[in-house]
Amino acid sequence: MSTESNTTTSQPRSAEIFERAKHVMPGGVSRNTVLRKPYPPYAAYGEGCRLIDLDGISRIDFSNNMASLIHGHAFPPIVEAVTEQIKRGTAFMMATECEVIHAEHMCSRSPGFQKVRFMNSGTEAVMVSIKASRAFTGRPMIAKVEGAYHGGYDYAEVSQAPKPETWGSVDHPNSVPLAHGTPESALNDVLILPFNDIERALAILNEHAEEIAGVLLDPMPHRVGLNPVEPEFLKAIREWTTSNGALLLFDEVITFRSTYGGLQMHYGVEGDLTAMGKMVGGGFPIGAIAGRSDVMDVMNPSSEQYLLPHSGTFSANPMSMVAGYTAMKHFDEAAVEHVNNLATRARAGIEEAAERTGARACVTGAGSILRVHMKEKQPRNFREAFLSPEENARLKTMLDHLFDAGFVMINTCSAMMSTPMTETEIDALVAACGEGFEKIARMP
């Protein structure tokens, strides 16, 4: 591990590589989330909860590759498992026993997981969930929460990032495209619901009750404000889908880490289908959907209900299966409690620092996740979480401060705990946030 101090001095190696990258990749990257000005740092290696860049600077990694590394970097059991597997091969035009082992384990974690199928990303898992709901119900439309991120599928990304000038009435939020050129037909088949607003959400659903295949719901949507769904709202959506022949589609790509069997277990509510990804691959690309046998059987060629052909060259590849099973096997009840306790400590400490400094900030989250808002009150929905120009400036100040102080955060100022972390890392983050709040308190 590097012992060099974290400073704001130049990083010539990263700058040099970024100049090369801009000639061969749009924007110089393959995912915009890694960009920083004037150039992004380039990773050299990870070690536990630390990430070391090519210029030797070590930072505590609270991003964990966008929540995909529940055990941090280079977790020894995963390293050992994938090293053994790579000697035997990385992908085959045959099924593997490790696929079955991982599926058995995932089904054992939740009573609602009767069957599971693997794919290659969270985006693909959500996409297949939507297509399966359409196949099972024979209906075209889906409903989703305003501002919720569900990956890059046309239908799933509708109203992912609406703005005040485009989002329309709160009673009937507009279906706003994310990407230029999104077909109007895709927009017309997606209903947008206000989060945690039972009366308005049910009114919108009732207008199209016989056309809705499924309601897609992240139980703690990150972009919406990272506040857990209110139990009454979830109960109302579950009852509406059951009564109207639609499916409840959970997106637990991020939130599955919240309890042993996902955040839905906390509420005692089972989805008809649940999309997963990120940490269930142990640091390798993965997606998965799990749920009711009769719904899952729309992908079963031997079933009378076979309505959705599904395959993929790297689906259930042995590298992701071995790494994912190892990661999940070690994410037992004790590990869940450990990371959740760390996050509880962090949220309390950051809240206290915000109040002490008068920084006009608050914290949301649950389980092992938190998000710092440049707002005095916790937002309940996307419109309340939307940043004003002044709030956005304060957020950028905090993110730059934390990065220079040696912390890698998700760019909404969100943090994900990992099992190698201890109270030492948490207290360091709290202290750094306090210093950042002192800067912010002096801003307009």
Q: pLDDT tens digits, residue range 131-173? A: 999 999 999 999 999 999 999 999 999 999 999 999 999 999 9
Which residues, other chains included, contact 179 with Cβ-Cβ below 8 Å and sequence gap of 6+? 154, 157
Instruction: Determine the pLDDT at residue 309.
Output: 96
* Topology classification of domain 76-330: Aspartate Aminotransferase; domain 2 (3.40.640)
β-strand partners of 349: none
SS3 content of the chain, % helix, strand, coil (to 5): 45, 15, 40
Tokens of 362: 């608050």
Joined tokens for residue 301 = 């060629």
Question: Sign of dihedral through CA atoms 340, 342, 347, 348?
Answer: positive
Q: Give residue 278's pLDDT.
A: 98
Please tell me what DSSP assigns to residue 59: E
Rg, C-alpha atoms of the chain = 22
Beta bridge pairs of residue 290: 116, 274
* pTM listed for this prediction: 0.94
82: phi then psi, degrees, rounded to nearest 5: -75, -25
Task: Tell me the mean pLDDT per 10 residues along the chain, length 444.
Answer: 42 87 92 88 96 95 97 98 98 97 98 97 98 98 98 97 97 97 96 98 98 98 97 98 98 98 96 98 98 98 95 97 98 98 98 96 98 96 97 96 97 97 98 97 85
Q: Are 60 and 408 in contact (CB under 8 A)?
A: yes
**Comparing 12-70+332-441 with 76-330, is the CATH topology the same?**
no
- CB 122, CB 278: distance < 8 Å: yes
Convert the pLDDT of each residue in 123-133 to its tens digit: 999 999 999 99
Q: Partners of 215 in the beta sheet? A: 143, 248
Full DSSP string of 71-115: T-BS-HHHHHHHHHHHHH-S--SS--HHHHHHHHHHHHT-TT-SE
For the chain, which residues make up each domain, given as ranges?
Answer: 12-70+332-441, 76-330
C-alpha–C-alpha distance, residues 47 and 1, integer Å: 7
pLDDT of residue 3: 37
Contact of 226 with 414, CB cutoff 8 Å: yes
Q: Does domain 12-70+332-441 have CATH number 3.90.1150.10?
A: yes
Nearest to 148 by CA among 88, 80, 213, 223: 223
The dihedrals phi and psi of 363, each to the nearest 5 degrees, come to -130, 140
Euclidean distance between CA atoms 363 and 378, whole angstroms: 7
What pLDDT was estimated at residue 443?
Answer: 86
Task: Give me the count of residues in the chain.
Answer: 444
Q: Determine contact, residues 374/361, Cβ cutoff 8 Å.
A: yes
Nearest to 173 by CA among 192, 159, 152, 157: 192
Q: Are 306 and 146 in contact (CB under 8 A)?
A: no
Q: Where do the DSSP E strands lie in 225-368?
A: 247-251, 273-277, 287-291, 362-366
Return all residues near 389 (Cβ < 8 A) that are at least 6 apart.
Answer: none
* pLDDT score of 321: 98
Distance CA 32, CA 66 (A): 12
Q: Which letter, b or e, does each residue of 242-256 get, where b requires 16 or more Cβ atoms within 10 Å of its Cβ?
A: eeeebbbbbbbbbbb
The identity of residue 30, as a single letter, is S
